[in-house]
Structure 1
Amino acid sequence: MKFATLILVLAGTSTSLMAGVFYAFSCAVNLGLGRLADVAYLTGFQSINRAIQNPVFFISFFGAPLFLLLSAWQQYSPSASLRFWLLLAAAVVYLAGALGVTVFGNIPLNTQLESVDLLSASPDELARIRVRFEGPWNRLNTVRTLASTLAVVLLFLACLSREEL
Structure 2
Amino acid sequence: MTFANMALLAAAFTTALIAGLFYAYSCSVNPGLGKLTDANYLSAMQSINREILNPVFFMSFMGTLVLLPLSTWLQYNPSAPLRFYLLLGATLVYGVGTFGVTFFGNVPLNNALDAFHIPSASPEALSRQRTLFENSWNQLHGIRTVANAIALILVLLACIVGNSKSAG
* CA apart distance, 1:79: 4.7
* CA apart distance, 1:159: 1.3
1:26 alignment partner in structure 2: 26
Give the secondary structure class of the aligned counterpart of 2:162: coil
Question: Counterparts of 1:86-105 in structure 2 under 5 Å?
Answer: 86-105=86-105
Give the secondary structure class of the aligned counterpart of 1:76: coil
- Separation in 2, partners of 1:158, 1:8: 9
Give the secondary structure class of the aligned counterpart of 1:49: helix
Question: Counterparts of 1:40-119 in structure 2 under 5 Å?
Answer: 40-79=40-79, 81-119=81-119
Kindly report the root-mean-square deviation, in angstroms, between the aligned alpha carbons of the 2 structures. Answer: 1.2
1:12 alignment partner in structure 2: 12
Q: Does 1:126 align with 2:119?
A: no
Q: Give structure 2 stretches of 5+ with no counterpart.
A: none
* CA apart distance, 1:115: 0.6
1:86-114 CA distances to partner (integer Å, 9 max, x unpaired)? 00100100000110000000000000000
- Separation in 2, partners of 1:158, 1:40: 43
Give the secondary structure class of the aligned counterpart of 1:138: helix
1:148 alignment partner in structure 2: 148
Q: Return 19-28 or 52-61, whichever deviates more.
A: 19-28
* CA apart distance, 1:158: 1.0
Structure-2-length-normalised TM-score? 0.95
Decide whether the 8 Å contact of 2:93 with 2:151 is kept in 1: yes
Structure-1-length-normalised TM-score? 0.97
Decide whether the 8 Å contact of 2:75 with 2:163 is kept in 1: no
Give the secondary structure class of the aligned counterpart of 1:128: helix
Q: Return 28-37 or 73-82, whichever deviates more.
A: 73-82
Tell me the matched-pair count: 165
1:26-72 CA distances to partner (integer Å, 9 max, x unpaired)? 11111110000000000000000000000000000001121110010
Q: Name the % identity.
A: 52
